């Protein structure tokens, strides 16, 4: 099937604060992503993800470590992110995006306590996820 391109184009907003990594640390970023993927696996888009959710979650964790100001783990392990291209094999419509975002919202509930996520940077991170996920949508409807 032909991929659909969001008319809004690639994300234009700012990336997450690069101060986050120094505050959270690598272990908490990986733990947050693991918990997020457990939620994804149990959600209505769970079928899209591989059985080894923990391994899958580590790719997102590597990306976020770099975006949060830590070492560029994703690039050194997997190469250029090219995330829209990497998502094209999966049929992602607005509904799938909403489920993905809701799973992340649920994970971020109380994230300051659970993961030491700096509260001052939470709202901007939510905005980043919303905008970036819009760019991953590749099917109309």
User: Residue numbers of the site for ligand HEM (CB under 6 A)?
Assistant: 45, 48-50, 56, 59-60, 63, 78, 83, 86-87, 90, 92, 96-97, 100, 129, 132-133, 136-137
CA separation for the pair 86, 50 (Å, rounded): 15
Count of Cβ atoms closer than 10 Å to residue 73 Cβ: 19
CA separation for the pair 40, 30 (Å, rounded): 15
CB of 43 to ligand HEM, least distance (A): 10
CB of 110 to ligand HEM, least distance (A): 20
Burial class (CB in 10 A: 0-12, 13-18, 19+), 22: exposed
CB of 22 to ligand HEM, least distance (A): 20
Nearer to ligand HEM by Cβ, of 11 and 118: the residue is 11
CA separation for the pair 21, 140 (Å, rounded): 35
Nearer to ligand HEM by Cβ, of 23 and 99: the residue is 99
Nearer to ligand HEM by Cβ, of 22 and 88: the residue is 88
How many CA atoms lie less than 13 Å away from 62 in the CB half-sphere? 16
CB of 137 to ligand HEM, least distance (A): 6
């Amino acid at each position: 099937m032909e991929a659909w391109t969001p008319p809004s184009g690639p994300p234009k907003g700012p990336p997450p604060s690069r101060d986050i990594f120094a505050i959270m640390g690598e272990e908490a970023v990986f733990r947050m992503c693991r918990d997020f993927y457990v939620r994804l696996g149990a959600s209505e888009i769970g079928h899209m993800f591989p059985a080894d959710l923990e391994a899958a979650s580590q790719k997102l964790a590597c990306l976020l470590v770099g975006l949060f100001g830590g070492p560029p783990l994703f690039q050194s392990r997997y190469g250029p992110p090219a995330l829209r291209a990497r998502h094209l094999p999966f049929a992602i419509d607005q509904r799938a995006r909403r489920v993905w975002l809701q799973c992340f919202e649920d994970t971020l509930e109380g994230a300051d306590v659970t993961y030491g996520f700096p509260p001052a940077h939470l709202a901007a991170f939510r905005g980043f996820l919303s905008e970036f996920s819009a760019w991953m949508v590749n099917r109309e409807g």
